[in-house]
Chains A and B, each alone.
Chain A
C-alpha cells in the first residue's frame, strides 16, 4: 500500500469480514501513525478488536461511535473527517454497518464527502460488506473514485462524480427503446419493455429488476410535473455492454419540486432528500438537467 496522499483520498472497500477489512487497511494505519497522523475508526466492535489485536492495546486510534458523531453539530461525520485532517495526513475508517442511516442519506453523505476540498489532507476508507443491501453496495461502487483491494488500490470504473454530466448515448450504445408515457397507466407497459431490453442486453437477473425500478422511478419524477395522477414523458433507452442507459424527458415543473410523502416522515436531521436519491439507489449514476422548459433525467444502470 502506498504512502498517504497529500490531498483528500476517498477509498471504498468491499469486504467479506472485519478481519479482511483490517488486513486491507493495516499498512495504511501503520504508516499514518508512524507519520504522526491521527487515525479514527468508526467501526464494528469486531473490527475494533481486530485492530487492537494487530497493533497492541496502547495503539493511538480513536474509536468514536457513529451515534456520537450524529449528535455532533450538523454534518457531524463530515466535520469529523475535516478535523482528522489536522495534523495533515489523518486517516478515517468507516464501516457502513455502524451507521444508522437510510440508504438515501448514506448515498447523500458519500456524495458530500466527494464535495470536500480536494486538497484536504485526509484519507477516508469506507467499507461495505459484500452481502449488504444492494443499494449500499451500489453506493459504495458509485461514490468512490478508487477501491481498496487486498492487493492494493485500483481505479474504480463504476465511480461517477456527483457533478459529472452524463452524456447519452455513449459511444457504443444502441438505441433499443423509444416510448411515450402518457399517464401512470402506461408505466406498467414501460416496465415490461425496459425489462425486455435489459434481458436482451445481457444484464444479470438482479440488475434487470434494478434497471426496471430506476427507469420507472425516473419516469415518475419527470412525470410528476403534471401531477397529480398523470405522468407524461418520453423515454429512450440504449443498450451497452451489460448495462442500459436511459433518458427521460418531460415538462419542467412550473413550481419548485414539492416533496414526496416520505419527505414529511421523520428523517435524520440535517439532510434534505434530493430529487434522484431513490433513483440512484438502483443505478450507477443519474443526473437531472433542468432547461427552461424541459426536465431531463439521464441514468446508467449496472
Chain B
C-alpha cells in the first residue's frame, strides 16, 4: 500500500547533505535504518547522534539496521546522544564544528574511505532569529565538511518533535537536499529538481523548502529566478499548487519562479486560481 509516507532507502544520488523528513518516530526510523544499512554495507564509517530521551537501543532492535550490532562492535558505527554532544561541544556552534571535524579526521585516519553523519530530530525551539541564524551556521558547517572530505550528512526532521517554526526553518535551510517520503528535492545544474507526489500531506514542508530555494537564489550570485524542474512530479494537488502560487506572490520584485516540464494538470490547477506574473511555465524539461 502506498499510503504511508515511507522513506525510500537512501542511495548515492541522495546528496551529501540531506534532510530526511518524517511525521512519526517509526516512519523516521524505517528510513534511517535503510540509510544506515546502505552506508554500513558500503564500508562507510558512521557517526550517529540519538535523542537522549529515546536511547540507542532501537538501533540494535528489530527496527534497526541489520548490520548495526556488528558495526557497533567493530567501531564502524559510533553512537552518541545529543546531550553528550552538547557537553562535548561546550554548548556552542563553534564547539560542535570542532567536534565534527575531529570525528571526520579520526574516521579518515582509521582508514575509512567515507564518513557518514546523522542526527535525530533535536527539538530545537527556534524561538528567535538569532537561534535560526545559529542553526543555519551549524548546517553550513556540514556543507563545509563535505567540501573538504568525503562526508555524507543526513539530518532528520521528525515532525512529532518539532514546532512549526523549527519545521519550517529546517526544511527551508535544507531545500537543496530534502527527502520527505513521497517527494524529494535537490539542486541539479542550478535547477531545483522535484520528484514524487506533492499534496496537502506534505504541502507545509514543500512550501518551506520552496521558500528556502527562492531565498537561496535571491541571496546567491547571478540570476535570481528560481527554475523548478517538475518533470518528475507524478501528482500535484491544489495545496501544492497553492504553495507555488504563494511563493511566486511573495517572491522579490525581480524574481520569477519558472516551472519546467510541468504536467498539464498542474498548469490547470495553477491557472484555476490565477497565474501571477511572477510564475510561468516552460515546456522544456
A and B together in one complex: yes
User: Which chain A residue lies CB-closest to B24?
Assistant: A185
Q: Are B271 and A103 in contact (CB under 8 A)?
A: yes
Task: Say if the beta carbon of B93 comes within 8 Å of chain A.
Answer: no
Interface segment, B40-48, B168-176, B196-204? Answer: B196-204
CB pair B274 A260 closer than 8 Å: no
Residue B1 interfacial (CB < 8 Å) = yes
Decide yes or no: A220 and B249 within 8 Å by CB, A265-B273, A278-B273 being known contacts: no
Picked from A134, A185, A231, the residue with its CB within 8 Å of the CB of B4 is A185
CA distance A187 to B242 in the complex (A): 18
Given A220-B239, A262-B273: A184 and B200 within 8 A (CB)? yes
Q: Does B79 contact A (CB under 8 A)?
A: no
Q: How far is the CA of A188 from the CA of B5 in the complex (A)?
A: 9
Q: Which of A104, A184, A187, A231 contacts B273 (CB 8 A)?
A: A104
Residue of B at shortest CB range from A264? B246
CB–CB B23/A220 < 8 A? no
Q: A184-B200, A185-B23, A188-B199 are in contact. Are A103 and B272 (CB under 8 A)?
A: yes
Give, as a whole number of angstroms, the nearest-CB distance from B157 to chain A.
15
Cα(A134)–Cα(B267), bound, Å: 10
Answer yes or no: B87 CB below 8 A from chain A CBs: no
A281 touches B268 (CB 8 A): yes
Q: Which of B182, B199, B238 has the most CB of A within 10 A?
A: B238
Contact A134 B264 (CB under 8 A): yes
Known: A210-B265, A278-B272. A260 touches B237 (CB 8 A): no
Contact: A278 with B238, CB < 8 Å? yes
Q: Which of A185, A209, A210, A282 has the most CB of B within 10 A?
A: A185
- Whether A102 lies near B271 (C-beta < 8 A) is yes
Q: Which residues of A contact B201 (CB under 8 A)?
A: 184-185, 187-188
Question: Does B190 belong to the interface (CB within 8 Å)?
Answer: no
Q: List residues of B (228-285) whose CB comes within 8 Å of A's CBs.
A: 235, 237-239, 242, 245-246, 249, 264-265, 267-269, 271-274, 276
Bound state CA distance, A134 and B269, in angstroms? Answer: 10
A189 to B182 Cα, complex, angstroms? 11
Q: Is the pair A133, B4 in contact by a Cβ cutoff of 8 Å?
A: no
Given contacts A102-B273, A188-B199, A278-B273, contact A135 B3 (CB under 8 A): no
Question: Is A266 positioned at the interface, with any CB of B under 8 Å from its CB?
Answer: yes
> Would you call B272 and A187 a contact (CB within 8 A)?
no
Assembled-state Cα–Cα distance A103/B199 (Å): 20
Contact with A187, one of B200, B249, B274 (Cβ below 8 angstroms): B200
How near does chain A come to B273, taking the closest CB pair, in angstroms?
4
Q: Are the CB atoms of A216 and B273 closer together than 8 Å?
A: no
Q: Which residues of A contact B73 (CB under 8 A)?
A: none
A216 with B274: CB separation less than 8 A: no
Given contacts A185-B4, A267-B274, 14 further A-B contacts (CB under 8 A): A133-B268, A134-B264, A185-B201, A188-B197, A192-B2, A212-B235, A213-B265, A262-B238, A265-B245, A265-B246, A265-B249, A266-B249, A266-B274, A278-B238
